[in-house]
Amino acid sequence: MQVTLPDGKALELPDGATGLDAARAIGPKLAEQAVLVRADGRVQDLRLPLADGEPIQILTTRDKDDPDALYVLRHSSAHLLAEAVRRLYPGVKVAIGPPIENGFYYDFDFPEPITEADLEKIEAEVKREISDGREWSREEISRDDARTRFEAEQEPYKVELVDTAQGDISLYTQGDFTDLCRGPHLQNAKPIKAFKLTGLAGAYWRGDEHNKQLTRIYGTAFYTQDDLDAYLARLEEARRRDHRRLGVQLDLFHLSEHSPGSPFWHPKGMVIWNTLEELRKRENRRRGYVEVKTPLLYDEQTYETSGHLANYEDNIFWVQSHEQHDRRFALKPMNCPGHMILFGSQLRSYRELPFRFAESSTLHRDEITGALHGLLRVKHITQDDAHIFCSREQIEEEIFGCLDFAYYLYELFDLEARFELSTRPEKRVGTDEEWDFTEGALRSALERRGIEYVVNEGDGAFYGPKIDLHMTDVLGRSWQMGTIQLDAQMPQRFGLTFMGADNEEHVPYVIHRALLGSLERFIGILTEHYGGAFPFWIAPVQVRILPVGEDHREAAHDLAARLVPYRVEVDDSAETVGKRIRNSEIEKIPFTVVYGDAESDDSLAVRERGGGQSNPSLSEFRDRLATLLPWQAGAEPSLTS
């Protein structure tokens, strides 16, 4: 047999040769450093046989930044964690331990609870295993033998996994620990140069809240200590920027068990919220959207018609009427069914199209408690939602308009969008021909606009494909922001039509569009992206004036009045000037003006967030502030400029 190497050369091998055999045939150093093989684009354990004629790439310890090389390193690290925990805590039951983005976890059923303080002991035991040396061996056994083995070891979670596993059953062993696993794994533990346990959490077995809650231990591993140190520094910076901490520090919002997953917005947080709402309304008007308002409650039939009952019921909050006991109602989790009903309330003409409905409405989604995370995952959600009803011929221009709108919004926040085309999911409504058209329309719009994109197969909505917009924050984390979806299904299901120029009825297409996404989530992301130091135009307090003494209070308040319409506070508390300056820094106020005997309209003592100081006149200061409002700073950007 032969395989093809990355440089295009053929490598002759004996029939049944493995990835490790291929590495040895190239050279002993490569074989020693090999951690994984990519065979025909898929990752494969070095111990498995290669197929004749397939292209291969052997990854080594030198590929320390490759996601697949990190994947196998962290997978093996998770197994070392399980070995250590079994040794330290007799009677513990092991569940699953996969690699994840930035690390790995393993779920355990401990006989007695453990705490964060136990992680140091567990980590030391794993490092001892690495120092002593571990090698991984792989074997395939029958399902019956695997079941018998794990029953004898009193490992009920492994028994359940054996019973539900598809395909061959394989085991990996290192030291005195054997695990049910498909792999891949390292040859040995030598490449694991840096290992760290990072936290504890509760996790339901198989993600089902009806199952027992297990203890999840998180960790990470790297090929070098420098890479681990850099990661831990990013982790510490992420903690410093955590929007839940900053939300309290900056007096923006808080969360309460009185209403789980539903933020309580404080006055300063509402300044940010209202600024985004004003931006949404202003830009929607400029682009021909009309504001509408639809009910919060709908009957069950509405969601059966829309398709959400069959595809989204687990996330719907149901409400029982005191009067109509045989009729279920639900709090709306999205606006689209209401907008369908609104469009269908009148006879529509092709002359009215495109019809652009916009609504920023309260939505409720019954997210499981364990998935809630500050503002980033909530039960109470508000979207900058819109639905565009258009003809087939208008689709491309409307998609162009949505893309330009998204680009403009993200530019305001200095965010760079990345585009992803999500295609038909397995669970969907509509014919393949309809999906071929809607997917093709979105793909064509992206390509005609010259936008680079990646395809996310199978991640579309149940009613249509979508363009998802992602951004990367200052910590290198990727976030999905907006979405643009093309729907040929819901208009049909609601019986929507418009009268065409041919005097015949036609079914419209609908573009579902939310560009900021959830306002709650967007504010959470912005808070972490900026570390609470919001751009001037959305900062809750834009200018704070500090009168030096009692005699300067009147002048300070007079100055504040003359800085309207900017958001100005006067801090005339009894604290020292130094303490009040420090408070402004902690609260990340963009500009602080210290007003004493030397200050006047001709010369103000202005301190900028970040340390800059200047002495502009009042007129110069106002001119400077005006330049910080983005819609006054220049022309609107577009994807074609």
Active site residue 387: yes
466 is catalytic: yes
Question: Annotated catalytic residue: which of 86, 365, 513, 544?
Answer: 365
Task: Measure the CA–CA gap between 244 and 370, rounded to whole angstroms.
Answer: 16
Residue 245 lies in a domain: no
641 with 626: CB under 8 angstroms?
Answer: no
pLDDT digit string (tens) for 349-389? 999 999 999 999 999 999 887 788 999 999 999 999 999 99
* 613 — pLDDT class (breaks 50, 70, 90): very high
Confirm whether 380 is domain-assigned. yes
Selected catalytic residue, list 387, 424, 513, 529: 387
Instruction: pLDDT band for 634, please (50, 70, 90 cuts).
Output: very low
Residue 641's pLDDT is: 29
DSSP character at residue 565: T
Q: Which position among 336, 379, 468, 572 bears the catalytic label?
A: 336
Total domains in the fold of the chain: 4
Has residue 159 been placed in a domain?
yes
In whole angstroms, what is the distance from residue 133 CA to residue 281 CA?
Answer: 63
Question: Do 221 and 94 share a structural domain?
Answer: yes
Among the candidates 530, 553, 580, a domain finishes at 530
Same-domain status, 520 and 572:
no
Q: Do the domain assignments include residue 337?
A: yes
- Which among 63, 96, 61, 102 is positioned nearest to 79, based on CA atoms? 96
Q: Tell me, what's the pLDDT at 377?
A: 92
Quick check: is 209 in a domain?
A: yes
* pLDDT for the residue 322: 84
Least confident of 4-13, 118-127, 225-234, 367-376: 367-376
Q: Which of 109-118, 406-415, 562-571 has the lowest mean pLDDT?
A: 406-415
Mark whether 476 and 555 lie in a shared domain. Answer: no
- Which phi-psi region, left, alpha or beta, contains residue 458 (left: φ > 0; alpha: ψ -120 to 50)? left
Q: Per-residue pLDDT tens for 245-254?
A: 999 999 999 9
Q: pLDDT tens for residues 304-358?
A: 999 999 888 889 999 988 887 788 999 999 999 999 999 999 999 999 999 999 9
Average pLDDT value for residue range 613-632? 90
Q: Which domain holds residue 565?
A: 541-631
Contact 127, 189 (CB under 8 A): no
Q: Name the active-site residue from 384, 385, 404, 572.
A: 385
Q: What is the pLDDT of residue 167?
A: 81
Instruction: Give the per-residue pLDDT at 635.
Output: 38
In a domain, 247, yes or no: no
Angle at 342 between CA 338 and CA 345, to 5 degrees: 140
Q: Are 55 and 40 in contact (CB under 8 A)?
A: yes
Shared domain for 586 and 512, answered yes or no, is no
pLDDT of residue 632: 53
CATH for 151: 3.30.980.10
Is 512 catalytic? The answer is yes
Closest of 149, 140, 144, 147 to residue 168, by C-alpha? 140
pLDDT at 638 (0 to 100)? 37
Are residues 368 and 445 both part of a single domain?
yes
Percent of the chain exceeding pLDDT 70 equals 98
Is the four-CA dihedral 499, 503, 506, 512 of positive or negative sign? Answer: negative
Q: Which amino acid is at 641?
A: S
User: What sign results for the dihedral spanned by CA atoms 286, 292, 297, 303?
Assistant: negative
Residues 281, 426 within the same domain: yes
Burial class of 204 by CB neighbour count within 10 A (0 to 12, 13 to 18, 19+)? middle
Residue 78 and residue 9 share a domain? no
Q: Using the predicted structure, report yes or no on whether residue 631 has a pLDDT greater than 70.
A: no
Q: Which two tokens stand for residue 314?
A: 């687990």
- At residue 558, the pLDDT reads 97
| Residue 502 CB coordination number (10 Å) | 8
Could you check whether the bond before residue 295 is cis, i.e. omega within 30 degrees of 0?
Answer: no
Any domain includes 106: yes
> Under a CB-based contact definition with an 8 Å cutoff, are residues 284 and 386 in contact?
yes
HEC string of 502-529?
A: CCCEECCEEEEEEEEEEHHHHHHHHHHH
Integer Cα distance of 445 and 395 in angstroms: 9
The pLDDT tens digits for 388-397 are 999 999 999 9
Residue with tokens 């820094």: 585
pLDDT, one tens digit per residue, over 138-168 is 999 999 999 999 999 999 999 999 999 888 8
- The pLDDT tens digits of the residues spanning 435-488 come to 999 999 999 999 999 999 999 999 999 999 999 999 988 888 888 899 999 999
What pLDDT, on the 0 to 100 scale, is given for residue 416?
Answer: 86
pLDDT of residue 636: 41
Residues 192-221: tens digit of each pLDDT? 999 999 999 999 898 887 899 999 999 999
Q: What is the CATH number of the domain that holds 23?
A: 3.10.20.30
Residue 421 predicted with pLDDT over 60: yes
Active-site position among 149, 241, 348, 466 = 466
Active-site position among 512, 513, 552, 567: 512
Q: Which of 33, 44, 187, 383 is catalytic?
A: 383
Pair (56, 71) in one structural domain = no
What digits encode the pLDDT tens for the residues 575-605?
999 999 999 999 999 999 999 999 999 999 9
DSSP letters of 52-109? TT-BEEEEETT-TT-HHHHHHHHHHHHHHHHHHHHHHSTT-EE----EETTEEEEEEE
- The 10 Å Cβ neighbour count of residue 292 is 17
Q: Can you name the residues that pair with 253 across neighbouring β-strands?
A: 265
Domain C-terminal end among 504, 530, 556: 530
pTM for this structure? 0.83
Domain end point (choices 15, 40, 60): 60
Chain mean position to CA 479? 4
Residue 52 has pLDDT above 60, yes or no: yes
CATH at 566: 3.40.50.800
Are 56 and 38 within one domain? Answer: yes
Q: Is residue 577 located within the same domain as residue 487?
A: no
